[in-house]
């Protein structure tokens, strides 16, 4: 395993300590693993909290700040946080207006955040959960754990964050978050497996001429293995999968995220974006906003995900609203 | 079962998990995210510390503490599932010394809790596939007059058998379900770890 | 080779086309390969232009925009641009106040930009060149091509960009750029080699337990090969190399960049930053600004560079000034 | 040398570079950034197009056009160096037909320009290590009454010898100098490509 690390056991806390050192504007509790905006709850504002396994940086810790999350609770690598982290995060940011939890749809995340929400409810805190489940590689049926939460998390956290920042009520913040999720679909492809520090070697073996299609963000193998083809062909299949699941009519407007998994150069992501843009244009869909970069990663995996979100009228001003976080910043 | 036996059980699980950590990780890497061994190691080593440090007044207190520690240390799917299972079991054992029947009821409660929380049926390729037959076997052994040691051995045998039987199944719950048919041909890591948990009980009971 | 691409020959133009699609606020000439701010020269403002081989994204194209570059000319992968690109870029942004060229110190870059500057001079345009040469892995002697330009380029472009944006004169913009370069030192380590599309395989073979120490940004091998050690040990050597070359006294203030080479997860970069911060603190140096992320990359190389710039008084307001580019954005 | 021979030379370089593209890339990857083959392929294929499309009035026009095309298509270190070298040579050959002595003077001018621009001395492990002995050999052959074909063959032989001799050297110019002692034991890619350029001249002259 080739990584900048001291020991596998200290990887996460060392990285968090570095994050804390680099971002004095945030408050990082290395013991409990909770990251909050340094100045505490914002009076009159609904709180926005998210969390999940680590290894997806900048998600979620990198999205704490003005206009986005009030707190994040990073679990161990690829392991959802424990309820204590979520309760501490919510308590730290709740100003009395209630808190929205953004939870990616994984069995572990759902159960741990549910336990936290139950405890918080017993304490009299208002908590609403927004479940993100945008990944069309997984059938959303009773025969699976349901669609996974992936790239759309960026959109949900940005847009719900802006909604909370402008003073919307708890139910409104949750509602817009849910609508963003409902309007979003994603699909991902891996060129390589990733290596978790504790495993010390890649999660699966992938020959030089093969890719994993329909992967999640935890280094699992995907739905199927395929021969490596041209970017145009791969992206065309990805866009088909997304639009087959949730068709967009000609004339529709979309926000598109081309997201790197951690080991993909930016130039390749732009190349992929170019293919997506051409395919959507063919279908008469216009891209009104886009983001190309590493947002929801899988450690050192080479690969990318594409997220298409049908832009509803109120999404754009919220997307454009100022945001000031380590991982996303504009307008301030 | 007495308090010391309960503690010995938790220590036994911790030792087994430590020993099998890498294998559990590999099983999980094949169909999931590879963290199952690490998750349980973190959880049970904390649980051992916690139950050694406490002065429990009942068998249940040891198991409840174990469950609470797992919930607050493990995360992932297995944290809430194992944690709640131990807590549910602990709730039923509010005495310094409990009978095999009580342990049977506690294991049943644990299974019930896992089913309720995770929504998995037998055959979905989860820990339920090991736990359900284990609880059956335990109850049956106690019914036919077996002691704790005997019942626990039957349960461990059944759990191991149940874990082995997950190999040909297609997963319908948890991360492995994302793989669809590609989950076929692999053991479920949670079922394998459940078998470790019950084998540890059998070994503790045999010595205790 | 595993990359999202169509053909090796079209890699660069496809990626540039995607960049153009994602950034309608910029004007991208795919023929001549020149990227400019869409609205042309800004009256009364000194122009700032940079360029170099491609494969280092976001550098330089991703730094075109308000408060930073007016134009960039990306050459072929790892190949400096040709003089025609540089002259076109300068002509497109020159408002009559002159233009500063930021050139990384490589034989090819220097010669091509020199030829361009000569031509532009003949046309009566004023051009000043700022040479970036911050990499202490190379001895700056007559026996080498001189220190390479690496991570400090980010600092030079940001700070000179802000200087130009606030209306400083040509000589002032060039001067502050040169002072930033003079105050900066960098050192880089690679965990893996990178693969150029045309070569189709890694530039060198590196065993699982070895790293290349003192690498540049073009996939060349470094000064020496070493066994992989802990992040703490590696970073300590890197910081020593930097501070041996340009010592900082206790009490000094520094801007620190921990830069990923393209294939390094953000969590590792933060981990490295944590080590740097601890080492500088030990020496009594306080980090007053920092940037952790991918800025000057080498395609898919896993590795990182560390840049330490002694912060002079006027650097900080210029670093903090608003910037709005694809790769760096704050304050607007 | 006449205009057609000059064109044939450029075509010959293009063919050689196309054939040796990968090898030049590998040589450059060992001590540099691996783009030398690709750089020259891009440059000389454009140069061939350019000199085929033009209606030159002199040998020098062909070489100047080649140089200008290299400068505006290649980039990197080799673009300005080869480009300026061809332009410098072209400037000296302002006739439809030139003598071996003229070609010798043109090659000397090219070498001078490479030295001026790049500042490299013989022994610095650059293209100069192939070009300098080649020019010497060419001049000597012409001096002793040799024709173009003979002189070019002597130059090509000397360039190949010079390129081979770069192997044990430590680079002091260009990218390879970053490697310090690690540059020892590798051929300089630019010296190797310079030998290709001169061999192409020898072959064109032998046929023309
Ligand atoms: N819904 C569920 N019901 C019962 N057990 C489950 C369920 N989901 C997952 N599991 C069990 O959890 C195990 C995985 O645990 P672990 O790897 O620790 O968590 P995660 O999947 O979050 O990484 C699976 O092998 C399976 O036995
Ligand atoms: N200063 C110099 N003087 C003469 N030749 C040089 C000099 N620097 C580099 N070269 C030649 O250029 C060759 C490299 O060319 P190329 O790979 O195309 O450019 P780059 O080094 O910019 O990638 C070297 O092998 C060497 O022969
Ligand atoms: Mg997990
Ligand atoms: Mg797991
Ligand atoms: Mg080059
Ligand atoms: Mg080169």
CB A169 within 8 A of CB A46: yes
Atom of ligand 1 nearest to the CA of B27: 25
Query: Which residue in A has a C-alpha nearest to residue B40's C-alpha?
Result: A79
Q: Across the interface, do B79 and A107 touch by the CB < 8 Å criterion?
A: no
Residue scoring higher pLDDT (A141 or D123):
D123
User: Which are the catalytic amino acids of C?
Assistant: 56, 218
Q: What is the phi/psi pair of residue A226, to 5°?
A: -135, 160
Give the contacts of C164 (CB within 8 A, at least 6 positions apart): C45, C46, C47, C48, C70, C100, C173
Residues C102, C223: one domain?
Answer: no
Q: Supply the pLDDT for residue A244.
A: 98
Nearest CA to ligand 1 atom 24: B190
Q: Which of A28, A162, A218, A318 is catalytic?
A: A218
CB-based contact, C63 to chain A, within 8 Å: no
Atom of ligand 2 nearest to the CA of D33: 23
CB C234 within 8 A of CB C211: yes
Rounded Cα distance, C293 and C270, in Å: 8
Given ligand 1 and candidates A108, A149, A218, which is best to mutate, with the most ligand atoms within 8 Å of its CB?
A108
Q: Is B120 in the pocket of ligand 1 (CB under 6 A)?
A: yes
Question: Which of B33, B75, B177 lies at the smallest CB-CB distance from A112?
Answer: B75
Rounded Cα distance, C321 and C185, in Å: 23
Dihedral (Cα; B80, B84, B87, B88), 10-degree rounding = 180
Residues C137, C53: one domain?
Answer: yes
Q: Supply the pLDDT for residue D48.
A: 98
Burial class (CB in 10 A: 0-12, 13-18, 19+), A311: buried
Task: Say if residue A143's pLDDT is above 90.
Answer: no
Distance C184 CA to ligand 6 centre (A): 26
| Per-residue pLDDT tens over the stretch B93-122 | 999 999 999 999 999 999 999 999 999 999
Residues C176, C192: one domain?
Answer: no
Burial class (CB in 10 A: 0-12, 13-18, 19+), A251: exposed
Contacts of residue D78 in chain C, CB cutoff 8 Å?
108
Which residues share a beta bridge with C260? C294, C304
Which residues share a beta bridge with C184? C309
Rounded Cα distance, D166 and D175, in Å: 15
Residues A38, A153: one domain?
Answer: yes
C196 lies in some domain:
yes
Chains C and A touch (3+ CB pairs under 8 A): yes
Rounded Cα distance, C216 and D33, in Å: 10
C242 lies in some domain:
yes
CB D67 within 8 A of CB D46: no
Rounded Cα distance, D71 and D60, in Å: 16
Task: Say if residue C332's pLDDT is above 90.
Answer: no
Residues C272, C294: one domain?
Answer: yes
Q: Across the interface, do C115 and D71 touch by the CB < 8 Å criterion?
A: yes
CB D16 within 8 A of CB D8: no
**What's the gap in Å between the CA of A291 and the closest CA on chain B?**
27
pLDDT band at A144 (very low <50, low <70, confident <90, very high): confident
**Kind of pairing between the strands at A99-104 and A127-132:** parallel
CATH number for C215 = 3.30.1180.20
Rounded Cα distance, C135 and C155, in Å: 14
Q: Supply the pLDDT for residue A268.
A: 98
CATH number for C132 = 3.40.50.10440
Q: Kindly report the CA angle at C191 between C189 and C196, in degrees rounded to 5?
A: 95
| Per-residue pLDDT tens over the stretch D138-165 | 999 999 999 999 999 999 999 999 999 9
In SS3 terms, C180-224 reads as HHHCEEEEEEECCCCECCCCCCECCCCCCCEEEECCCCCCCCCCE
Domain hosting residue B112, numbered range: 3-207
Q: Which residues of chain D have pLDDT under 50?
A: none
Rounded Cα distance, B41 and B50, in Å: 14
Residues A171, A190: one domain?
Answer: no
Total number of domains in chain D: 1
Give the pair of three-digit tokens for residue D21.
Answer: 């593209």
CB A47 within 8 A of CB A165: no
Q: Which of C99, C54, C93, C45 is nearest to C73 (CA)?
A: C54
SS3 A59: coil
Q: What's the whole-number mean pLDDT along residues A38-62?
A: 96
Task: Say if residue A39's pLDDT is above 90.
Answer: no
Residue with tokens 């911790």: B14
Q: Supply the pLDDT for residue A284.
A: 98
**Residue A278 CB neighbours (<10 A):** 16
> What does the DSSP assignment read for D27-80?
HHHHHS-S-HHHHHHHHHHHHHHHHHHS--SSHHHHHHHHHHHHHHHT-TTHHH
Q: Supply the pLDDT for residue B186.
A: 97
CB-based contact, C30 to chain A, within 8 Å: no
Rounded Cα distance, C285 and C248, in Å: 7
Give the contacts of D49 (CB within 8 A, at least 6 positions apart): none
Contacts of residue D117 in chain C, CB cutoff 8 Å?
111
Residues A131, A223: one domain?
Answer: no
Q: Supply the pLDDT for residue C267.
A: 98
Task: Say if residue C220's pLDDT is above 90.
Answer: no
Rounded Cα distance, D61 and D55, in Å: 9
Distance B126 CA to ligand 4 centre (A): 12
pLDDT band at C139 (very low <50, low <70, confident <90, very high): confident
| Per-residue pLDDT tens over the stretch C34-60 | 999 988 899 999 999 999 999 999 999
Last residue of a domain, one of A135, A165, A183: A183
Q: Across the interface, do C300 and A16 touch by the CB < 8 Å criterion?
A: no
Q: Supply the pLDDT for residue A285.
A: 98
Atom of ligand 1 nearest to the CA of A80: 22
Residues in chain A whose Cβ is within 8 Å of chain B = 53, 75-84, 106-108, 111-112, 115, 137-139, 142-145, 148, 196, 198-199, 203-204, 216, 218-221, 223-224
Active site residue A218: yes
Rounded Cα distance, C177 and A198, in Å: 44
Total number of domains in chain A: 2
Q: Kindly report the CA angle at C27 between C23 and C28, in degrees rounded to 5?
A: 90
Rounded Cα distance, C39 and C231, in Å: 45
Atom of ligand 2 nearest to the CA of D120: 3
| Per-residue pLDDT tens over the stretch C256-265 | 999 999 999 9
Give the pair of three-digit tokens for residue A239.
Answer: 């866009």
SS3 C54: strand
A318 lies in some domain:
no
| Per-residue pLDDT tens over the stretch C261-303 | 999 999 999 999 999 999 999 999 999 999 999 999 999 999 9
ipTM over 0.90: yes
Distance D175 CA to ligand 2 centre (A): 7
Q: What's the whole-number mean pLDDT along residues A76-99?
A: 97
Rounded Cα distance, B66 and C219, in Å: 52
C292 lies in some domain:
yes
SS3 C137: coil
Residues C161, C190: one domain?
Answer: no
Adjacency order of strands within the sheet including A127-132 = A26-29, A34-37, A71-77, A47-54, A99-104, A127-132
Rounded Cα distance, B197 and D142, in Å: 92
Rounded Cα distance, B79 and B73, in Å: 7
Task: Say if residue A140's pLDDT is above 90.
Answer: no
Distance B174 CA to ligand 1 centre (A): 5
Q: Supply the pLDDT for residue A38.
A: 87
Query: Which chains sit next to A, with 3 or more Cβ pairs under 8 A?
Result: B, C
Nearest CA to ligand 2 atom 8: D174
Q: Supply the pLDDT for residue A332.
A: 85
Task: Say if residue C209's pLDDT is above 80.
Answer: yes
Domain hosting residue A282, numbered range: 184-311
Residues A93, A109: one domain?
Answer: yes
Q: Supply the pLDDT for residue D208.
A: 75
Q: Supply the pLDDT for residue C141.
A: 80
Q: Mean pLDDT score of chain B, rounded to an integer?
A: 97
Task: Say if residue A281's pLDDT is above 80.
Answer: yes
Contacts of residue B78 in chain A, CB cutoff 8 Å?
108
Q: Is B174 in the pocket of ligand 1 (CB under 6 A)?
A: yes
Q: Of A133-147, A165-179, D87-101, which gets the smallest average pLDDT? A: A133-147
Rounded Cα distance, B69 and B63, in Å: 10
Give the pair of three-digit tokens for residue D145.
Answer: 């009454």
Distance C203 CA to ligand 6 centre (A): 12
C317 lies in some domain:
no
Residues A170, A226: one domain?
Answer: no
Q: Which of A224, A246, A243, A223 is nearest to A235 (CA)?
A: A243
Q: Supply the pLDDT for residue C78.
A: 96
Q: Which of A23, A37, A45, A56 is catalytic?
A: A56
Q: Is B118 in the pocket of ligand 1 (CB under 6 A)?
A: yes
Rounded Cα distance, C163 and C319, in Å: 9
Q: Kindly report the CA angle at D107 between D103 and D109, in degrees rounded to 5?
A: 115
Q: What's the whole-number mean pLDDT along residues C193-214?
A: 95
Q: Which site among C24, C256, C267 would you substitute to test the A interface, given the most A Cβ atoms closer than 10 Å to its Cβ?
A: C267
Chain C residues 171-210 within an 8 A CB cutoff of chain A: 191-192, 208
Q: Supply the pLDDT for residue A141.
A: 80
Q: Across the interface, do A62 and C266 touch by the CB < 8 Å criterion?
A: yes
Q: Is B119 in the pocket of ligand 1 (CB under 6 A)?
A: yes
Size of interface A-C (CB pairs under 8 A): 190
Q: Across the interface, do C3 and A230 touch by the CB < 8 Å criterion?
A: no
How far, CA to CA in Å, does C304 sit from each of A163, C242, C279, D192? 37, 14, 17, 33
How far, CA to CA in Å, does A312 sit from each of A149, A176, A318, B109? 20, 10, 11, 47
Q: Supply the pLDDT for residue B79.
A: 98
Q: Supply the pLDDT for residue D89.
A: 98
SS3 B77: coil
Rounded Cα distance, D137 and B144, in Å: 105
Nearest CA to ligand 1 atom 18: B36
Residues C59, C122: one domain?
Answer: yes
CATH number for D154 = 1.25.40.340
Rounded Cα distance, A154 and A56, in Å: 11
Query: Residues enclosing ligand 2, CB less than 6 A?
Result: C 79, 107-108; D 28, 32-33, 35-36, 39, 76-78, 81, 114, 118-120, 126-128, 173-175, 188-191
Task: Say if residue B87's pLDDT is above 80.
Answer: yes
Q: Which of A225, A271, A297, A282 is nearest to A248 (CA)?
A: A282
**Residue B76 CB neighbours (<10 A):** 33
> What does the DSSP assignment read for A23-52?
-TTEEEETTTTEEEETT-PPTT--EEEEEE
Last residue of a domain, one of C183, C207, C241: C183
CB-based contact, C294 to chain A, within 8 Å: yes
Chain C residues 115-134 within an 8 A CB cutoff of chain A: none
Residues with CB under 5 A from ligand 3 (ion): A 78-79; B 33, 35, 76
Atom of ligand 1 nearest to the CA of B75: 22
Contacts of residue C270 in chain A, CB cutoff 8 Å?
15-16, 18-19, 22, 57
Residues in chain B whose Cβ is within 8 Å of chain A = 25, 29-35, 38-39, 42, 71-81, 117-118, 172-175, 177-180, 182
């Amino acid at each position: 395993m080739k990584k900048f690390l001291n020991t596998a056991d200290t990887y996460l806390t060392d990285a968090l300590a570095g994050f804390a050192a680099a971002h004095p504007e945030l408050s990082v509790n290395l013991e409990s693993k909770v990251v909050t905006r340094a100045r505490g709850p914002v009076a009159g504002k609904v709180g926005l909290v998210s969390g999940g396994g680590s290894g997806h940086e900048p998600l979620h810790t990198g999205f704490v700040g003005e206009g986005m999350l009030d707190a994040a609770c990073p679990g161990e690598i690829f392991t959802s946080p424990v309820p204590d982290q979520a309760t501490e995060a919510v308590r730290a940011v709740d100003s009395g207006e209630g808190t929205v939890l953004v939870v990616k749809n994984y069995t572990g995340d759902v159960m741990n955040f549910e336990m936290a929400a139950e405890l918080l409810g017993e304490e009299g805190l208002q908590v609403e959960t927004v479940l993100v489940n945008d990944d069309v590689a997984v059938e959303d049926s009773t025969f699976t754990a349901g669609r996974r939460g992936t790239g759309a998390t960026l959109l949900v956290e940005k847009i719900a964050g802006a909604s909370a920042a402008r003073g919307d009520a708890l139910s409104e913040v949750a509602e817009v978050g849910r609508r963003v999720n409902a309007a979003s679909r994603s699909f991902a492809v891996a060129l390589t497996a990733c290596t978790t520090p504790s495993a010390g070697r890649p999660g699966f073996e992938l020959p030089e001429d093969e890719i994993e299609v329909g992967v999640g963000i935890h280094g699992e193998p995907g739905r199927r293995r395929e021969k490596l083809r041209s970017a145009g062909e791969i992206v065309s299949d990805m866009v088909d999968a997304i639009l087959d699941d949730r068709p967009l009519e000609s004339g529709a407007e979309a926000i598109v995220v081309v997201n790197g998994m951690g080991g993909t150069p930016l130039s390749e992501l732009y190349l992929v974006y170019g293919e997506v843009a051409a395919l959507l244009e063919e279908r008469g869909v216009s891209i009104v906003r886009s983001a190309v970069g590493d947002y929801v990663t899988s450690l050192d995996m080479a690969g990318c995900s594409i997220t298409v979100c049908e832009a509803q009228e109120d999404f754009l001003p919220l997307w454009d609203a100022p945001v000031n976080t380590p991982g996303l910043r504009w307008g301030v | 079962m007495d308090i010391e036996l309960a503690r010995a059980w938790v220590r036994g699980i911790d030792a087994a998990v430590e020993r099998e950590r890498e294998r559990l990780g590999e099983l999980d890497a094949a169909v999931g995210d590879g963290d199952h061994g690490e998750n349980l190691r973190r959880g049970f080593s904390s649980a051992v510390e916690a139950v050694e440090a406490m002065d429990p007044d009942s068998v249940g207190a040891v198991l409840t503490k174990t469950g609470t520690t797992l919930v607050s240390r493990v995360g992932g799917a297995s944290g809430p599932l194992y944690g709640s299972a131990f807590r549910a079991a602990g709730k039923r054992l509010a005495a310094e010394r409990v009978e095999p029947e009580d342990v049977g009821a506690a294991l049943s409660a644990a299974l019930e809790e896992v089913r309720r929380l995770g929504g998995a049926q037998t055959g979905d390729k989860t820990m339920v596939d090991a736990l359900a037959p284990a609880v059956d076997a335990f109850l049956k052994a106690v019914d036919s007059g077996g002691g704790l040691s005997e019942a626990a051995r039957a349960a461990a045998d059944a759990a191991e058998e149940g874990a082995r039987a997950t190999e040909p199944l297609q997963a319908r719950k948890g991360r492995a379900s994302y793989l669809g048919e590609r989950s076929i041909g692999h053991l479920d890591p949670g079922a394998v770890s459940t078998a470790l948990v019950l084998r540890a009980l059998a070994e503790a009971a045999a010595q205790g």
